[in-house]
Amino acid sequence: MSSENPVSDDVLREEVRGWLADNWIPEQAAAVGGTERIWGASDELKAWLGKVVEARWAVPSWPVEWFGRGLSASQAKIIIREFASVRAPGAGQDRSSMWANTLLARGTEPLKAKLLGPILKSEVDMCLLYSEPGAGSDLAGIRTRADLQGDHFVVNGQKVWTSGAAIADYGMLIARTDWDVPKHAGISFFFCPMKQPGIEVRPLRQITDESHFNEVFITDAIVPADNLLGGVNTGWKVLQTALAYERSILGDFARGARSGAKESRKEEVLIALAREAGVLEDPALRQEIAQAIAYKKLNSLNNARVKADLEQGTTSPAMSLGKLAMSRILHEEARVRTAILGAQSLFEGSDYPRAEDANFLTLNAYFTSIGGGTDQIQRNIIGERVLGLPKEPEVDTSIPFRDVRTS
Ligand SMILES: Cc1cc2nc3c(=O)[nH]c(=O)nc-3n(C[C@H](O)[C@H](O)[C@H](O)COP(=O)(O)OP(=O)(O)OC[C@H]3O[C@@H](n4cnc5c(N)ncnc54)[C@H](O)[C@@H]3O)c2cc1C
């Protein structure tokens, strides 16, 4: 089971297939749903994930003492493929769970013992307490403070755009612990318990008429010292680990249409929609559809290249492109859907599911181009870290945060 006891690919494949045959009932797929649901797992999903975690299929590349098998990335992929082939959720969390991976990499032993299992089994819900009214793209400008008092920190401040805060049990929180050092050097990273009197959550209404994100007001909230990740004032480094996971997930992940109207699985959705609308022969639309599909294919080829590089132990500059590319693809697809529907896209409501979907996807495309770092910030990262362009001028990175001027 451990890397000291290597197992061949064939033996591993047989083992996972056998386990799935004994435990997974394909008919339960609808009830269980997928782990792409980030919050509020059903009881059926929790029960299934419990089995997957206990059998060590959830995070096989992790160490044996933490629910893993110490397998290589390529062997872990065998497990992901076998689960996917029967549509069983729960495998591959060593790639997809930003909460669990951040905790494993930087958490204290007591916190890992307390929360790694429940996170992998979706028994606890999580949220990200990063953005503030005055700090979004420039997260190092946060003003929420955490002060050590005995065996715990006392936290005061305000967060905003916090997805899932209303049901979360813990939030990954960044807060300022030293005001007399430059802004990146005085930040700490915590797992903050959300269900306590010092945390008040107020939902915000989104342009899609949903309310997934919230304002969070924090007044004398208590965070045990064990819930500090990576040590006092080293939170910026921990944040980089967590953001890298978040961006790679957002690069892979996109919400589909909302209406529930049936969409073709046999051919590209845009082609099927154009066929249904009787406009597939329109030469201008064909160009647009072809271009949107080409972007998607190119992105998946790039992703495959990145993954192949990662498996060989090197990183690829193309890795930084994933999230930005996905955001462009979502905007393009939504625009072409609207063009295919023409005037029909002006309708709304359940009587017009195709129009409802096109409008929802148009508005929701901003999720990916703002959340987890805006498109402009992704371009800055690519310019500076991949293309080697000069850094943006910054006037406040070497003075104590206390002296940074604000408007
Ligand atoms: C759907 C969704 C979910 C989210 N969920 C969460 C969450 O769970 N937790 C959380 O903490 N936050 C969350 N956010 C917040 C998100 O991370 C921030 O909105 C984002 O980082 C931008 O910050 P801001 O809104 O303060 O915009 P600002 O930083 O004020 O930016 C405003 C505009 O200026 C541009 N800009 C800013 N700086 C630069 C620069 N240096 N160069 C070029 N352009 C620049 C930006 O690109 C943007 O267009 C979510 C946002 C969305 C849309």
Of 96, 116, 142, which closes a domain? Answer: 96
Q: What is the C-alpha separation between 45 and 90, in angstroms, rounded?
A: 9
**In-domain check, residue 147:** yes
**284 and 322, same structural domain?**
yes
Among protein residues, the one whose CA lies closest to atom 13 of ligand 1: 161
**Whole-number pLDDT of residue 2:** 47
Q: Which residue has the tokens 């590209």?
A: 268
**228 and 131, same structural domain?**
yes
**In-domain check, residue 83:** yes
**288 and 203, same structural domain?**
no
Report how far ligand 1's centroid is from the alpha carbon of 139 (Å). Answer: 9
Among protein residues, the one whose CA lies closest to atom 1 of ligand 1: 367
**190 and 261, same structural domain?**
no
Say if ligand 1 is within 6 A of residue 376 CB.
yes
**92 and 162, same structural domain?**
no
Q: What is the C-alpha separation between 329 and 380, in angstroms, rounded?
A: 19
Specify the DSSP class assigned to residue 131.
Answer: -
Report how far ligand 1's centroid is from the alpha carbon of 137 (Å). Answer: 5
User: Which DSSP string do the residues of 321-335 spell out, in sequence order?
Assistant: HHHHHHHHHHHHHHH
Q: Which atom of ligand 1 is nearest to the CA of 375?
A: 47
Per-residue pLDDT of the chain (407 residues; tens, 9 = 90+): 545 568 899 999 999 999 999 999 988 777 776 655 567 788 889 999 999 999 999 999 999 999 999 999 889 999 999 999 998 999 999 988 999 999 999 999 999 999 999 999 999 999 999 999 999 999 999 999 999 999 999 999 999 999 999 999 999 999 999 999 999 999 999 999 999 999 999 999 988 888 889 999 999 999 999 999 999 999 999 998 898 888 777 666 555 666 666 665 677 899 999 999 999 999 999 999 999 999 999 988 888 887 777 666 666 666 678 889 999 999 999 999 999 999 999 998 888 999 999 999 999 999 889 988 899 998 998 898 889 999 888 889 999 999 998 86
**Which range of residues forms the domain containing residue 311?**
254-372
The residue to mutate among 102, 126, 131, having the most atoms of ligand 1 within 8 angstroms of its beta carbon, is 131
**316 and 277, same structural domain?**
yes
**357 and 316, same structural domain?**
yes
Nearest-10 Cα torsion for 225, 226, 227, 228: 70
**In-domain check, residue 262:** yes
**263 and 227, same structural domain?**
no
**137 and 52, same structural domain?**
no
Q: Which atom of ligand 1 is nearest to the CA of 206?
A: 1
According to DSSP, the residues that pair with 126 across neighbouring strands are 170
Positive or negative, the Cα torsion across 389, 393, 399, 400? Answer: negative
**160 and 63, same structural domain?**
no
**Whole-number pLDDT of residue 245:** 81
Of 232, 263, 297, which closes a domain? Answer: 232
Report how far ligand 1's centroid is from the alpha carbon of 288 (Å). Answer: 30
Report how far ligand 1's centroid is from the alpha carbon of 362 (Å). Answer: 18
**In-domain check, residue 387:** no
CB of 386 closer than 8 Å to CB of 317 = yes
Q: Which atom of ligand 1 is nearest to the CA of 139?
A: 21
**In-domain check, residue 145:** yes
The residue to mutate among 38, 102, 137, having the most atoms of ligand 1 within 8 angstroms of its beta carbon, is 137
**220 and 135, same structural domain?**
yes
378-to-127, 166, 298 alpha-carbon distances in Å? 22, 28, 18
According to DSSP, the residues that pair with 217 across neighbouring strands are 158, 200
Terminal Cα distance for the chain, rounded: 57
Among protein residues, the one whose CA lies closest to atom 27 of ligand 1: 136
**In-domain check, residue 77:** yes
C-alpha 40 chain-centroid distance: 15
Positive or negative, the Cα torsion across 116, 121, 124, 129? Answer: positive
Indicate the angle between helix axes 283-311 and 73-85, nearest 10 degrees: 140
- Kindly list the catalytic residues: 246
**272 and 223, same structural domain?**
no
Q: Which atom of ligand 1 is nearest to the CA of 133?
A: 26
Say if ligand 1 is within 6 A of residue 316 CB.
no
**Whole-number pLDDT of residue 275:** 95
Residue 67: left if φ>0, alpha if ψ -120 to 50, beta else—which one?
left
**In-domain check, residue 238:** no
**In-domain check, residue 335:** yes
Say if ligand 1 is within 6 A of residue 382 CB.
no
Q: What is the C-alpha separation between 201 and 193, in angstroms, rounded?
A: 13
The half-sphere exposure of 259 on its side-chain side, counting CA atoms within 13 A, is 17
Q: Which atom of ligand 1 is nearest to the CA of 137?
A: 29
- Number of domains forming the structure of the chain: 3
**3-class secondary-structure state, position 123:** coil
The residue to mutate among 163, 201, 374, 394, having the most atoms of ligand 1 within 8 angstroms of its beta carbon, is 374
Report how far ligand 1's centroid is from the alpha carbon of 131 (Å). Answer: 8
Among protein residues, the one whose CA lies closest to atom 16 of ligand 1: 371
Q: What CATH number corresponds to the domain at position 185?
A: 2.40.110.10
